[in-house]
Amino acid sequence: MSRSLACTLAAILLAAYHTAAVAESRASAPLAHGIAMHGVVKERPGFPHFGYVNPNAPKGGRVTLGVNGAFDSLNPLIVKGVAPNGVRDHVIESLLARGQDEPFALYGLLAEAIEVPDDRSAITFHLHPMAAFSDGKPVTTDDVLFSFDILKEKGRPNFRTYYKKVDKAEKISDRVVRFAFKPEDAPEGTPGGKPRFDREMPLIMGLMPVVAKHAFTAETFDRTTLLPFVASGPYTFGKIEAGRTVTYDRNPNYWGRDLPVNRGRFNFAEIRYDFYRDATTMLEAFKTGDIDLRVEEDPARWAEGYKVAAFTDGRIVKREIETTVPAGMTALAFNTRRTQFQDPRVRQALIRLFNFEFLNKSLYFGLFKRTESFFERSMLSAARRPVDAEETRLLEPYATSLKPEVLAGTYRLPETDGSGQNRDNWRKALALLKAAGYEQRGTKLVNAKTGQPLAFEILANTTAHQRMLLNFTSDLERLGIEARVRVVDSAQYQARLTTYDYDMIQVTWTSSLSPGNEQLFRWSERSADVEGTYNFAGVKTAAADAMISAMLQATTAESFVSAVRALDRVLLSGDYVIPLFHVPKQWVAHWRHLNGPPRTPIAGFTLDTWWIEDGK
């Protein structure tokens, strides 16, 4: 049989299996109130409210928060512009709402019920009969399909990539809409000859933001705008001062206020975000009462910055909140698209030259923990764990590109005694740079062949960690490496991130206990060449693609954990970043008139469950 004929027959067979799967799913999928990525959802049908809220929380009052930076648009769903905090959380809703006390579970919101077949080849949403936009018009399947089409065409790259996996979007009625998914591979490549489907896609569609068809046009959707728009969420746009302040007003006629997923939430009558150019000014605003609450990330400020009379007399409260979600990866990311960072030995050398122990002791009161994994502080981390049998199977085709010590779980980042002396690591770094073709010429380290000095710029949009960065670049200068720090405003920073116009940046890739398709936009080969993704390091390796695929196809918690750890090992072996640090707990400071539930979900602090205490 010729190869072309075999491919044709495979395609026909795949289509036949897909058609049969669609017919079967329509006939057999039961109605459900929620869906979990793995296993079953925690909350039973008819649950009254989430366990981490106060269903009797007082309503009213205004909370003011501070944000570093500025904004020039209200639309967070497109690449252009910088939207303010809160639009997605307070104004725009999805079909389903996330439960914050589970790794990845969704419950009914705009959709009151769903149908999902066992193979996850499709999802059908039954819209809530009361679902409405803030102008009173009902949310219909026309709005859902408009949102799908416009985000697929003009939304951020993650939307465009996700929604390409939808084979058919179908209006069943004004309140019922169905999305069928494309199979991942040919029938012969799967057990039993059946096609496989991306198991996360039903949840991804459940989280799709739904916008009002009558509030946007296809021609103008991807343009930046500061004009408020109607949406279905608990808040509407209030006062807006471009780049400085945005206020959200609770909608007194919000359609979903009595839903189980919303009871005890959205308690403030008004939420205001004030934007500041630097962290110092923002902290001072908090201490004078202009800001009501802040999540602190700087150990020096946490240790010393709140020593004011209001803290001493109890008007300001500091909380350290336990959380079990991964800390994520905060790092200095190498842009491996740039010539000077394409040799891994150069990257390894710079990793050795970063003196974490000294910086933590001298700048951060020793409160930071070194980050050793892209899924730090969780069971998903590969750090200090040897590969298991499933990881070995997944990684075997790529074993030659992986560090043996990463596979064995013995890999450690370079350490020092914290005194500021780093001579042993300097010697090892210089040896790596020499092997990469660099040599000392006078006071400069240059490429022996081209004569080009080893030089790069660290791009930042805040001075929050400027002392740390300047200390690092000073050490590099002593070895003849030209490195400088450039701080730009938020708009310029975002524009340069979108086009990967930088040598190195400080970045945080957040994580959860259920990483999924977002990993494609961080580490896949395809994302490295598409503007606006989160593949800031320019990772392009088949090993990462294969591990992400295994993670997305995992049907058990055990196989999922193995796939994520395998991905972690691929990324750690690639030396794509200089791992920095993380705080061991969530640090939250607030004025005494604010309060929150006694129990915090695994996701940690969530603003929408807090309230203003009566009489304070």
Q: How buried is residue 455: exposed, middle or buried, by Cβ count under 10 Å (0-12/13-18/19+)?
A: middle
Express each pLDDT in 304-316 by its tens digit. Answer: 999 999 999 999 9
How is residue 358 written in tokens?
A: 């000294």
- How many angstroms separate the Cα of 280 from the Cα of each of 63, 68, 296, 361? 20, 10, 12, 21
Nearest one of 348, 377, 327 to 576, comparing CA atoms: 348
For the stretch 480-495, pLDDT in tens is 999 999 999 988 999 9
DSSP reduced 3-state for 274: strand
Per-domain boundaries in the chain: 18-215, 238-247+273-324+585-612, 329-575
What are 117-148's pLDDT values in tens digits? 999 999 999 999 999 999 999 999 999 999 99
pLDDT tens sequence across 381-431: 999 999 999 999 999 999 999 999 999 999 999 999 888 888 899 999 999
Q: What's the per-residue H, E or C state across 239-265?
A: EEECCCEEEEEECCCCCCCCCCCCCCC
In the predicted model, is pLDDT for residue 83 greater than 80? yes
- Cβ-based neighbour number of residue 341 at 10 Å: 22
Q: Which helix (H) or strand (E) holds 320?
A: strand 316-321
- Taking the C-alpha atoms of residue 42 and residue 255, their distance in angstroms, rounded to an integer, is 25
Other beta carbons within 10 angstroms of residue 318's beta carbon come to: 12
pTM: 0.78
Helix axes 423-435, 344-352, angle to 10 degrees: 170
Other beta carbons within 10 angstroms of residue 531's beta carbon come to: 11
Is residue 12 pLDDT above 90, yes or no? no
- pLDDT value, residue 616: 57
Termini Cα distance of the chain: 81
Residue 55, both tokens = 């269903």
Q: What percent of the chain has pLDDT over 70?
A: 94
CATH class entry, domain 18-215: alpha beta
Residue indicated by tokens 């199977």 = 393
CATH 3.10.105.10 fits 329-575, yes or no: yes
pLDDT tens digits, 437-468: 999 999 999 999 999 999 999 999 888 789 99
- What is the tens place of the pLDDT at every residue in 507-564? 999 999 999 989 999 999 999 999 999 999 999 999 999 999 999 989 888 999 999 9
- The per-residue pLDDT for 28 is 58
State pLDDT tens for residues 228-259.
999 999 999 999 999 999 999 999 999 999 99
Q: What pLDDT does 18 receive?
A: 47
Give the confidence band of 192 by pLDDT, cuts at 50, 70, 90: low
**Distant-in-sequence, close-in-space partners of 101: CB < 8 Å, separation ≥ 6:** 42, 50, 51, 52, 601, 602, 603
Sign of CA dihedral 477, 482, 488, 490: negative
- In this predicted structure, what is the pLDDT of residue 15? 46
pLDDT score recorded for residue 39: 87
Return d(Cα 532, Cα 514) in angstroms, integer. Answer: 23
- Tokens 């471009």 belong to 242
The mean predicted confidence, pLDDT, of the chain is 92
Count of alpha carbons within 13 Å of 481, Cβ hemisphere only? 24
Distance CA 267, CA 59 (A): 5
Residue 593 backbone class (left: φ over 0; alpha: ψ -120 to 50; beta: rest): alpha
pLDDT in tens, 344-355: 999 999 999 999
